Structure 1
Amino acid sequence: MTTHAPFGRALCAMITPFTADGGLDLDGAQRLADHLVSRGCDGLVLSGTTGESPTTTDAEKAALVEAVREAVGGRASVVTGVGTSDTGHTVRLAREAEKAGADGLLVVSPYYSRPPQDALEEHFRTVADASGLPVVLYDIPGRTGIRIEAETMIRLAGHPRIVAVKDCSYDFLAAQKVMSRTGLAYYAGCDEHNLALTAVGGAGWISTVANVVPDRLRAVLDAWEAGDTPVSARLQRRATPLIESMMAAGLPGTVTAKALLNELGLPAGPVRAPLRPADRKTVDGLLAAYEECLAG
């Protein structure tokens, strides 16, 4: 089965590497991007939740797009987060991302202000009208405090540049409802749903865990595409302890991903405050789950 996947199927929600003193590490970002693409990612999502977008500047976001675009060329799509709580600011970021060479925009619901659905819809339409880039709606109510309701998604699907959804809603019924009534490409934003959403017509995933095991998660999709459901299910189950350790053990995925990447000698560096690094006990547990995933 072939599903419409405008940015590819296997997209890593890439961390933003920082230097030891907390500055933006563009060389590290290029090396990590090349590493991820060479191991199965056909898209990279920058400056999202995992990319610590709340604590990077507008200039850093644009510089990151330029550096990663240079590193991967045409081998992978480059989508970048531009969503803020301010429509005007989001519009400016969208235009800067287009100039920097992005292929698409990840736009999260405006957080904190919690606009009603009609205002939320207008926000997304305004951002989509601001550039020529296609838009991925980012539905993550656990962080924003507001859902993009299914009926709002269905209306927004009529906009020619709103083409996809990163789904962190934990509402599987709503996701299937929207997929059944629109052409929006649905990407799993929660790694435990990677296979399940694909199985009902999802486009693939935008994964934090892919920072450390891109090839293992890509193999789940490849097995499914090949029609080997038992293998895809086994590989998804094999990754589950690592997914749980990284995403459901009380720390943000940014913290756990950077902890593992630093241990593996890959570009990552520190997290920016108010986040704090994982302690040694947590890192050891992450490493054990990582080794278990590789053993399968």
Structure 2
Amino acid sequence: MSETSTFTALRTRLFSVAYRMLGTRADAEDVVQDAWLRWHDSDREAVQSAEAWLVTITTRLSIDRLRSRMAERASYVGWWLPEPIVEFDEHTPESNAERASEVSMAFLWVLERLSPEERAAFLMRQVFEHDYADIAAMLGKSEAACRQMVHRAQQRVQQQTPRFQVQKEQHHALLGRFIAAAQLGDRAAMKTMLADDVQLVADGGGKVNSYLHILHGAGRVAGSFWSLEHQYPQQVAYRQARVNGEPGLVRYVDGQLESAQSFRIENDHIVAVFIVRNPDKLTGVPQTIF
């Protein structure tokens, strides 16, 4: 197999690693491109496993890129959310290749709480199922240190992720009912679908108006949807879509793209809402309703 075909066959996997590490398409694509350049210049006869070599390089490059982005994210206006991957066709090859729970907005939001090396160790072990010897070689650490990092990261992730997988049909149905209530401006109906301790995280990046604090409680979250409908009567429209592998919503105001939204659901109630409004993160989404 040629160097190009070998890399092409692994490109989707490399992008999956880089995107989960970095949370933006542009950074992930840059890392994958850097990995290609290093692969092109490498002594491939000395490489025992092309996949192991490329995943290691991609992981190390992602750690370096994430470290360089930490200062930028620290000064980011409001809350930083990953760039959403929005698909209106549920049967694309990319959709079939991903397990939604491992790329969901809720999952990536939790990963933002980890250090770059913790994030890499956790992903390599829990998502990509590498053994600790491989992870230790990737990170230049002992196996014991990697086990400890994964253990700490797993504790944090388990505290903030759903305990039960929600069926896609149930997720779709709940969002359908929620859209109907939102478009009617029915706060009472929306509240019945929201957990009492629901939270809403919005990312405007200082480019558009957005909440700078996390909203807590069914009343406040329902009120945020009601207020937009009240401000723009008959002008707010929703489309259901896959957002990071899970059923989500894309919202348009007066025909123009306003946000992409992801929902975490437990026990048939919405427990978290993630709304990306930063236009820089929505360039891959249709800008006008269709």
Tell me the TM-score normalized by structure 1.
Answer: 0.31
Please state which structure has a larger fraction of its residues in helix: 2
Please state which structure has a larger fraction of its residues in strand: 2
Tell me the TM-score normalized by structure 2.
Answer: 0.32
- Structure exhibiting the larger radius of gyration computed from Cα positions: 2
